[in-house]
Amino acid sequence: MNSLRKRKLNRLQGFDYSREGCYFITICTENRECLFGDVIDGVMYLSEHGKIAEESLEKIPHHYDNIGVDIFVVMPNHVHLILRIKSAERINAFPTEVEAKVKDAPNVIGRYKAGVTRIAKKSVWQKSYHDHVIRNKKAYLEIYEYIEYNALKWEMDCHNPVSPKYKRWK
């Protein structure tokens, strides 16, 4: 009998992540280490690693014509963002070599994580990330507001190791 634990599938089975739409993404640091800074009185103060994570998020739309980041927040041990994928055909009939290779959310996030790790010169991220396909305007607005006010609610955040709501995912 195989004693290796099977990893839970993180992506929605059968869903095309290159499809036009919005995706709520949460990426945690390795071992939930508070590597990106501290929240003090509801304000996030970024460390050097936090600045790398933030600057790299800001650059995502500059690398791809059909990818946008509507909102993001860098927290002490995770980042949240809304990734928007626009139809590449409507943006540019002749995509560049990079655009032709990277067409979906998992590849964009993978490249983001690799870039931050390379610049930081250390292992930064947990193996995977959480995503949620945003299906309507109401959900989009709720998620947008959650991201916008995330630092103000850090004391009770499930990612905060000192919060009573902390969840230790395996």
Mean pLDDT in residue range 61-66: 87
User: pLDDT per residue over 73-94, tens digit each?
Assistant: 999 999 999 999 987 555 555 5
* Banded model confidence at residue 116, pLDDT cuts 50, 70, 90: very high
* Partners of 23 in the β-ladder: 83, 133
For the chain, which residues make up each domain, given as ranges?
21-156
Lowest mean per-residue pLDDT among 31-45, 100-114, 117-131:
100-114
The pTM is what? 0.82
**Angle subtended at Cα 156 by Cα 73 and Cα 163, rounded to the nearest 5 degrees:** 110
Which CATH fold topology does 21-156 show?
Alpha-Beta Plaits (3.30.70)
Instruction: Name 13's Cβ contacts closer than 8 Å, sequence gap at least 6.
Output: none
Decide which of 154 and 109 is more confident.
Answer: 109
> Reduced to 3 states, what is the DSSP secondary structure of residue 79?
strand
Asked if residue 74 lies in contact with residue 112, where contact means CB atoms within 8 angstroms, the answer is no
> Reduced to 3 states, what is the DSSP secondary structure of residue 103?
coil
